[in-house]
Structure 1
Amino acid sequence: MTDADPPEVSEPVVLKGGKAVEKWKEGKGVWNDWVTKNPVAKIEFSDVDFGSSSEPYSSQSFRGFLFGRSGVSFNAVTSKIGDVSFDGAEFGGGDVSFDGANFVKSGVSFEEAVFGDCAVSFDNVECSKITFSPKVIGSGSITACGMKVDGPAIFRLPPSAKSLKQFDLSGSSFNGPLTLEGDLTTPPDLRSVKAAHHVELGKLSVELKRDSIFPFWPLSELSRLASDREDAAKLRRLKEIAEANRDHHAALRFSADENRARRWRETPRLASVLDMIFSGTSNYGQSILRPFVWLCLLGVIAAMFYRCAACPAYADCWQAARLSLSNSLPFLPQSRTLRLDASEALYGETTSLWVDIVMVVQGTLSFVLLFLIGLGLRNRFRL
């Protein structure tokens, strides 16, 4: 080869069809050795009928198998005689596709499997049951659009799933119970999903990806903008499913996240400011501690003002505290007497305009905070 000759480029290794089946039937050890020696090989099981090719096995196992960095395809495979296990299997960074696979009389299991930064696709898969409970999953995506599951469907995602960019189950049909668990930053898309039985969302939480629109503002955390415009619609669907399954606490979480996703995008500016205040003071009625702390802080600040506004000869910390307490709890029968006595002790017969304004403001804000405390109690102990 002369200097002018282009460098030789080796053809990518592809293991497909019958050769892939024969290699698989030799067992995990032989298979993993081959993949270790060919880490960038493309593996194709597409259109394989495991019902006939796996004889005399009664089930198809890929337990503990390794798959290379170039991905693997099980598109349109068929299995009708037993469950298919991928428990403990390790998938590299290439795409993992089961599109159109038919496991009508079989279940599919991915317990303790490991996925790299890859796209995992179950579009239009039909199976009797599925357990997708990987040990690790990278920053790729999971799509299962148009999936049909006759029995239980479990999607239990590990902590690493926070890096997922997409989790799409839209248009799928679940004739058995559906369970979704995990801490995500992208809400699962369950729009147009048909669920004939219970949908368990109690252990599913979403921490929305949001962008700061005022990065140098002290309250930038509350004023952030949802990164994806579709998040509000996805969360609205999760809320509807939780309400239909009488999971009140999950419905509250998804409703709060939906409001955050709508803020500054679908909600007008003034309403977004009110929404931001509602979120900061009570976490949308989910927190009891937050409004209680704000109520105490308001009472302390008001008491300090009442004492400073009094004449030096009449200034008394205890009387200022009594006046602040009576304004914080105006519904108590004793509040009126306390307020009159404390006001007279601090200011005599006449109070200044500023004191009157502060009393009105404190009373109004205290009423709102007491309402939020009651709302939090109601939501916490609702039966």
Structure 2
Amino acid sequence: MTTSPIKTCLSHPHCTLSLEINYLQGSQTVVANKEGKLCLEGDQAIELWQKGKDIWNKWVENNPIADVDFSQVDFAQYRDGDESKVDFSQFLFPVGNVSFSLAKFGQGKTYFIGTKFGKGDVYFDCATFGDGEVLFVGAKFGEGDVRFENAIFGKTEVNFTNATFENGVVDFNIATFGGKVCFDKANFGKGIVTFNKTNFGVGGVSFLGGRFGTGNVDFSGVNFGEGDVDFSSAIFDKVNISFENTKFGKGNVSFVNTTFQGRNLNFNRANFGEGNVYFDEASFDSGLVLFTSIISTGMFSFTDVHGIVNVDFRNATFSGAVSIANVSFCGVLDLVNTKLSHQISLQNLKIILCRERYWLVFKIATDAGDAERLNRLKELAEINKQHQQALRYNADEQRARRWHDMSKAASLLDMTFSAMCNYGQSILRPFVLLLSFMVIFTVPYTLQSDSLEFSVNYNSEMMFFSAANSLPALTSARKASENGMKQIFVGQNALAPIYAIMMLQGIVSAILLFLIGLGLRNRFRI
């Protein structure tokens, strides 16, 4: 029997204990120190790894609580040529911290396929991977933090498909990727996920079907390189999500069918590069979506999205076509000061002006800034010759200004205009009012008549007389009114009240006829 002591792990902050391994007939007997926790590091860790996953996993089965430290290990010296691989596939790690900090994996493939880490933290910070594919496919990380900050990957594929992270922080800050990166269907658990200032290379970046948990998600300052970026069908839970100051490259950017359940989504000052951008059929359950001061060179499509509350594109610059169509907003879309080089499509765009009670019986816009936003939407609709849409935005703009920018008298007058014709959008309302006033004015005419007859013939004459006074511009109506005066009010001396009623009816009728004409003009405007 030979004994090989393992050094105290104080040389690296992630492992702080010591152990002794006794080699006997190919098996390992591990002696724990007084703290009851082991630390496998250096040559002993390398030697055990080289024996393969079965012996390694057996050791972990016998030593379920231990730290493992491969920090600063140069795995290149253990490769047999560039075609060989550093393989930790199906390896099980004990409950404890695992460190590959500052490790150098060299040229060639590196596999952590189906690897299962324990409940401790996992460190790959400042690790260097060469130009071989790096696969963490199906890897399971425990409840601790997972840190790849400042890690450097080569020019080939890095794949975390179906990887599972638990409750800890997932940190890829300032990491560098040279080739294609895939996190498809990865589950990021409940911890914070941060890729702050990460640099991606010429390959595409995919988080297709990825699931982000209840921790905040930070992609701010990321450089996505030259490939496509795909977050299609990804799910972001109820967290804050930031892509602020992110730079997308020459490829397309897709958030198609992505679900954003978070409180806020921030793309402020993001540069979407030369590719097309797609948010089609994305779902936004709540919160504020910010695209302030973004730059988009290709086509920008924001169609058929669901659950939008507030979206802010203020000061954005679009060099390609923009489509914000088939969308219903629970607020007012902000396109103020946007710069457009091509036509913007606002087809079937619906907004809801949020208002609250004012003086019990009135309503006032909850945000006075909605008037400015609606004015911009009206301007864009007019440029696109979408007249009906422009009318709707104009109506909501006036409602937003009411009680804020308008005096009380002006606000009351504006309310009357809205009620009578919906700001020139309705033909039916003033037409019904015109008919109603024809009937209403028969009452004062009857009261001024000396006749107390209420026969069908008399009532018909009175109704015809009132209708004639409602259409004074028609020659036949004027003659019918004169004949009515002679037949209904014949022999009466006090005609001044009757003429006063006729003038009042003429004024009311003229206003209503104008509103009918306004509605016809707006309805059939070319």
TM-score bracket, normalised by the shorter chain, equals: 0.7 to 0.9
| CA 353–252 in structure 1, closer or farther in 2 if over 3 Å, else same | same
Instruction: Please say if 1:228 is aligned against 2:339.
Output: no
Find the counterpart in structure 2 of residue 374 from structure 1.
Answer: 517
| CA 340–146 in structure 1, closer or farther in 2 if over 3 Å, else same | same
1:132-158 CA distances to partner (integer Å, 9 max, x unpaired)? 234431220000111000011122364
- Residue number among 39, 42, 45 corresponding to 2:192 in the alignment: 42
How far apart are residue 13 of structure 1 and its match? 5.4
Secondary structure in 2 aligned to 1:240?
helix
Q: Give the TM-score normalised by structure 2.
A: 0.63
State how 1:53-64 maps to structure 2 within 5 Å.
58-64=203-209
Task: Give the gaps of 5 or more residues in structure 1.
Answer: 1-9, 53-57
How far apart are residue 72 of structure 1 and its match? 1.4
Find the counterpart in structure 2 of residue 294 from structure 1.
Answer: 433
Instruction: Please say if 1:171 is aligned against 2:315.
Output: yes
Which structure has the larger Rg? 2
Instruction: Please say if 1:196 is aligned against 2:341.
Output: yes
8 Å contact 1:304–1:320 — kept in the other structure?
A: no
Instruction: Please say if 1:118 is aligned against 2:263.
Output: yes
CA distance in structure 1 between the aligned counterparts of 2:379 and 2:152, rounded to whole angstroms: 45
- Residue number among 335, 339, 351 corresponding to 2:477 in the alignment: 335
CA distance in structure 2 between the aligned counterparts of 1:317 and 1:369, rounded to whole angstroms: 24
CA distance in structure 1 between the aligned counterparts of 2:508 and 2:396, rounded to whole angstroms: 25
Secondary structure in 1 aligned to 2:193?
strand
8 Å contact 1:45–1:73 — kept in the other structure?
A: yes
8 Å contact 2:204–2:227 — kept in the other structure?
A: yes
How far apart are residue 69 of structure 1 and its match? 1.4
Find the counterpart in structure 1 of residue 332 from structure 2.
Answer: 187
| CA 197–307 in structure 1, closer or farther in 2 if over 3 Å, else same | same
8 Å contact 1:183–1:204 — kept in the other structure?
A: yes
Secondary structure in 1 aligned to 2:413?
helix
Give the residue type in structure 2 aligned to 1:238.
L
Instruction: Please say if 1:209 is aligned against 2:354.
Output: yes
CA distance in structure 1 between the aligned counterparts of 2:466 and 2:152, rounded to whole angstroms: 80
Find the counterpart in structure 1 of residue 463 from structure 2.
Answer: 321
How far apart are residue 344 of structure 1 and its match? 3.0
Give the residue type in structure 1 aligned to 2:398.
N
1:184-243 CA distances to partner (integer Å, 9 max, x unpaired)? 23222222211111122232232211121132xxxx3xx311111211112222222333
Secondary structure in 2 aligned to 1:368?
helix
Q: Give the TM-score normalised by structure 1.
A: 0.84
| CA 108–157 in structure 1, closer or farther in 2 if over 3 Å, else same | same
8 Å contact 1:32–1:65 — kept in the other structure?
A: no
Instruction: Give the paired residue count.
Output: 359
CA distance in structure 2 between the aligned counterparts of 1:272 and 1:139, rounded to whole angstroms: 32
CA distance in structure 2 between the aligned counterparts of 1:266 and 1:135, rounded to whole angstroms: 36
CA distance in structure 1 between the aligned counterparts of 2:331 and 2:512, rounded to whole angstroms: 32
Give the residue type in structure 1 aligned to 2:505.
Q
CA distance in structure 2 between the aligned counterparts of 1:312 and 1:67, rounded to whole angstroms: 83
Secondary structure in 1 aligned to 2:385?
coil
| CA 37–73 in structure 1, closer or farther in 2 if over 3 Å, else same | closer
State how 1:74-85 maps to structure 2 within 5 Å.
74-85=219-230
CA distance in structure 1 between the aligned counterparts of 2:439 and 2:164, rounded to whole angstroms: 71
CA distance in structure 1 between the aligned counterparts of 2:146 and 2:463, rounded to whole angstroms: 80
Find the counterpart in structure 1 of residue 452 from structure 2.
Answer: 312
Moved more, 127-136 or 206-215: 127-136
| CA 14–363 in structure 1, closer or farther in 2 if over 3 Å, else same | farther
CA distance in structure 2 between the aligned counterparts of 1:71 and 1:363, rounded to whole angstroms: 66
| CA 159–102 in structure 1, closer or farther in 2 if over 3 Å, else same | closer
| CA 59–41 in structure 1, closer or farther in 2 if over 3 Å, else same | same
Q: CA RMSD in A?
A: 2.9
Give the residue type in structure 2 aligned to 1:94.
V
| CA 14–329 in structure 1, closer or farther in 2 if over 3 Å, else same | farther
CA distance in structure 1 between the aligned counterparts of 2:306 and 2:500, rounded to whole angstroms: 51
CA distance in structure 1 between the aligned counterparts of 2:208 and 2:447, rounded to whole angstroms: 75
RCO higher in structure (CA 8 A, sep ≥6):
1
Secondary structure in 2 aligned to 1:30?
coil
CA distance in structure 1 between the aligned counterparts of 2:487 and 2:151, rounded to whole angstroms: 92
Find the counterpart in structure 2 of residue 345 from structure 1.
Answer: 487
**Bigger proportion of residues as helix:** 1
Instruction: Please say if 1:30 is aligned against 2:163.
Output: yes
Secondary structure in 2 aligned to 1:156?
coil
8 Å contact 2:165–2:188 — kept in the other structure?
A: no
Secondary structure in 2 aligned to 1:111?
coil
